[in-house]
Structure 1
Amino acid sequence: MLHPTYFPNVASFAAMVQNDVVWEAEDNFQKQTYRNRCYICTDKGKHMLNIPIKHVGGDEGRQKYADVEMDNSYPWKKQHWRTLETAYRTSPFFEFYEDEIRPLYEGTDTSLYEFNLKTIEVVGNCIGVELPAAKTEKFQMEPTELLDTRFLVEAKRKGKIPLEPYPQVFEERHGFIPDLSILDLLFNEGTNALAYLKNQSLHLSHA
């Protein structure tokens, strides 16, 4: 059981590639998670891309993740794409995949949940793997039939899953930076990304 997140980090994508996944669709939205943010590497180091959301006030302050809308009154899509271009233009595979990624930043999507699923689908198409579409139908605090890996949504979680280093654009300047978005792996490793994801030892049940 996984949360769909904004261009998920590499560990989450490895979990998707290596397992049959059911998407959590019945939980409440929580701040400071990968639900509406991802991390990339720019010339200045690790950098957060954050999707602004429309906040519900009053008694309805808590809302289901599946009901959250992105705040498109702010030109975040244009800003995110410009940042990605600047960060990865010199990477080995940016030009190879940019025509698949760019349209995500040109659409009029409003649902954060559905937009995140779309980012996952597009990356799946880029690396040549079909990802699951099954969703939960009720919220379970402690699932009995599924391995609960919803902790992967926590952006500030300690005890990260160790992954093998791979070449990064600004590695000479910053060293290898782990826990970045799948876009970092895609633009740097390209056609080798799927093999990399399949070969990571995740040990999710002990994470």
Structure 2
Amino acid sequence: MIKPDILLSTAYFPPVQYLSKFVDHPSIWIETAENFTKQTYRNRTIILAANGPESLIFPVEKGRSRKQLIKDIRISYDTNWQHIHWQAIVSAYQSSPFFEVLQDDFRPFFEKHYSFLLDFNQEILQTVLDILELSTTIKLTEDFEEVSPNCLNFREAIHPKPQKALPDSQFEAQPYAQVFDNKFGFTPNLSCLDLLFNSGSESYEILLKSIQHD
């Protein structure tokens, strides 16, 4: 049975649930023509720090109108958020098993200035997929249109606020060792950084096990 395409929003170091779609579906659409939405994974990721889950949010420039297409959103550098984010990541994961191996793959994203949110997120995503050795076909939408019958719409389904996330029968978080699990137990569906730094080469198998079939 051929799996349908899936449509996702862009995301900043996306969560495990988001990443599982790239294992389960051969072709992924990334939405570029929607309006930017605050308080979503589009410019936020959640890591597990010493005091519990911590949201890392990067700022975007405000346009002349409230509604701005995601592909036109520019990243703001009025604050030194890159330094803050990287220091938070180092603090959270420097003792994880695979931090030393992978840190050089991710540090450049906190040193180079990217103009557009979409370009930034896409380069991060491609880096993550390369580490996982996934060759999923990624296509960018050209217009904001109704989703075709052979494509699943997950643009709003994967959300950092549980009350706003939609049910996903195809995903069930699989536990793996985390730096602070002795304090908090297993914390599911964090940033892909949490999975990769903690699980390394086993990350693909964990993603595979998270996929549920009817």
Normalising by structure 2, we get a TM-score of 0.88
Give the Å deviation of 1:18. Answer: 1.5
- Determine if the alignment matches structure 1 residue 47 to structure 2 residue 54: yes
- 8 A Cα contact 2:22 2:134, kept in partner: no
1:172 counterpart residue number: 182
1:197 counterpart residue number: 207
Distance 1:96 1:132 in 2: 26
2:109 counterpart residue number: 104
Distance 1:154 1:188 in 2: 23
Q: Quick check: 185-194 or 133-142, which moved more?
A: 133-142
Distance 2:79 2:50 in 1: 25
Distance 2:24 2:116 in 1: 27
- Determine if the alignment matches structure 1 residue 23 to structure 2 residue 33: no
1:136 counterpart residue number: 141
Give the Å deviation of 1:202. Answer: 4.3
2:172 counterpart residue number: 162
Distance 1:152 1:94 in 2: 30
Distance 1:153 1:66 in 2: 19
DSSP 3-state at the match of 2:138: coil
- Determine if the alignment matches structure 1 residue 3 to structure 2 residue 13: no
Distance 2:159 2:197 in 1: 24
Tell me which protein shows more helix as a share of its residues: 1
DSSP 3-state at the match of 1:147: strand
Tell me the alpha carbon deviations over residues 28-66 of structure 1, each in whole angstroms, 9 at most, x when there is no partner.
111111000010000100000001111124xx2110011
Which letter does structure 1 place at the counterpart of 2:175?
Answer: P
Give the Å deviation of 1:191. Answer: 0.5
Alignment RMSD: 1.7
Tell me the alpha carbon deviations over residues 159-197 of structure 1, each in whole angstroms, 9 at most, x when there is no partner.
574311111100000111112000000000001111211
Give the Å deviation of 1:153. Answer: 4.1
Query: How many percent of aligned residue pairs carry the same amino acid?
Result: 32
Alignment match of 2:191 (pick from 170, 181, 190): 181
Aligned residues between the structures: 202
Alignment match of 1:76 (pick from 64, 81, 84): 81
Give the Å deviation of 1:145. Answer: 3.2
Unaligned runs of 5+ in 1: none
Tell me which protein shows more strand as a share of its residues: 2
DSSP 3-state at the match of 2:148: coil
Unaligned runs of 5+ in 2: 1-6
Which letter does structure 1 place at the counterpart of 2:128?
Answer: V
